[in-house]
Structure 1
Amino acid sequence: MAEATITDVIFDFCGVLFDWQCRDAIEGVFPQDVVDRICSDDDECGFYRYEDRLDAGEDLDDVLADYRREFGDELAGIFRYYQEHYEDALPRLIPGMRQLLEDLHAAGLGVWGLTNWGWQTFPKAFAKFPEIEELLDGTIVSGIEKLHKPNADIYELAMSRFGLTPERSVFFDDTAKNIDGAHAVGMHAFRFTDAEQARKDLASLGVTL
């Protein structure tokens, strides 16, 4: 497998191409103690758990109704505000990633996106950073397809839709279970830390830029 020529590189979005910070969308708008609770690592207020449902393809109004029943009107209002101002949770591109995508294109490789993201907020990413949309040859969005990493079917969809072969493809994601999911369908995959390390990982497979 390691001897196959790499022809395509696939990237997750949040934590790989985009810096995603929930706190940036709500800090300064709502009381600091509430923001700290929402953004706690243990997901005390369920923001991340309920956002997973949006990533899986559910509609905001449906998810919000369940959220309100569990957490009440105040937090439900903040959750809606967060979703409606999602672009504020994307403060910047990850340093070095635009250049990496440009270099991959210049080297003749296919460059693709594969992300767990809700269908209603995903357009905000490309609206804020149109250069990334221009640099990607295509993107699979979980909330549109109603498929979800790390399940095999979303990787297989990317392979079939984009005309890729697993042994010639490399996937980068910042979440370990999503890397395991890519490996399970025969893809090369690396857990993303930064653009410099991604270049080293690609070089280990013979992709020199």
Structure 2
Amino acid sequence: MIHIVFDIGNVLIQWDEHAAFRDVFADVAEIDRFFSDVGFYAWNAEQDRGRSRADALAAAPEHAELLDRIFERFADTIQHKVEGSWEVLNDLKARGHRVFGLTNWGAETWPVANDVHAELRDAFEDVVVSGHEKLIKPDRRIYEVLTARNDLVPGECLFIDDSPKNVDGAREAGWQALHFTGADALRAELEALRLL
């Protein structure tokens, strides 16, 4: 039996990082200029790696007040599910597959995700959250955390992620992997593999 491992952000839950800033900037282009000026995505990745909110703000003191909005308004950034993905997940479970989660997500914002999307609490047999492990995909070690913790054989795990580099990371760890581009395409790929 193949075990299915889902990424969460932009596979099951849409992440709209702009939502935390729309009321202080004129438009998305202006938000993106701010993101570029402060190196937002690299800064945010450090929370995924386990950095605390306090340390994150201390790392960018000149922008701390604005950047703190990503924590204050995090719930606004994850309001929407990815259409069709949850149905695929539930169909896989109905077919008897063990289903796990493996996500690059900050330790301090992960509880917010579970509040906004309560079904996360029951969706997976286990979830590896990068902020808890202080490791982020595509580091091979984070894939090994999940297999070791759940006594899984890497080659029997199929990983689904929207990031090609994270898909490559899974393959380097000995897993099977699919690049997620949408729920319909995912379902077709799983059917072709006779997993659905």
TM-score (norm 2): 0.93
Residues 35, 41 of structure 2: 8 Å contact kept: no
Residues 115, 142 of structure 1: 8 Å contact kept: yes
Alignment partner of 1:137 is 2:125: yes
Residue 143 of structure 2: aligned partner: 155
Residues 38, 44 of structure 1: 8 Å contact kept: no
RMSD: 1.7
Between the aligned residues of both structures, percent identity stands at 35
Alignment partner of 1:32 is 2:22: no
Alignment partner of 1:16 is 2:4: no
- The count of residues paired between Structure 1 and Structure 2 equals 196
After superposition, residues 80-159 of structure 1 pair within 5 angstroms as 80-159=68-147
1:132: how far off?
2.6
Structure-2 separation of matches of 1:82 and 1:184: 32
Residues 98, 132 of structure 1: 8 Å contact kept: no
1:206: how far off?
2.2
Residues 74, 112 of structure 2: 8 Å contact kept: yes
Q: SS state of the match for residue 20, structure 1?
A: coil
1:104: how far off?
1.1
1:44: how far off?
3.0
Indicate which of 181, 188, 194 corresponds to 1:200. Answer: 188
Gap runs ≥5 in structure 2: none
Residue 171 of structure 2: aligned partner: 183
Residue 173 of structure 1: aligned partner: 161
Q: SS state of the match for residue 178, structure 2?
A: strand
Alignment partner of 1:55 is 2:48: yes
Residues 147, 154 of structure 1: 8 Å contact kept: yes
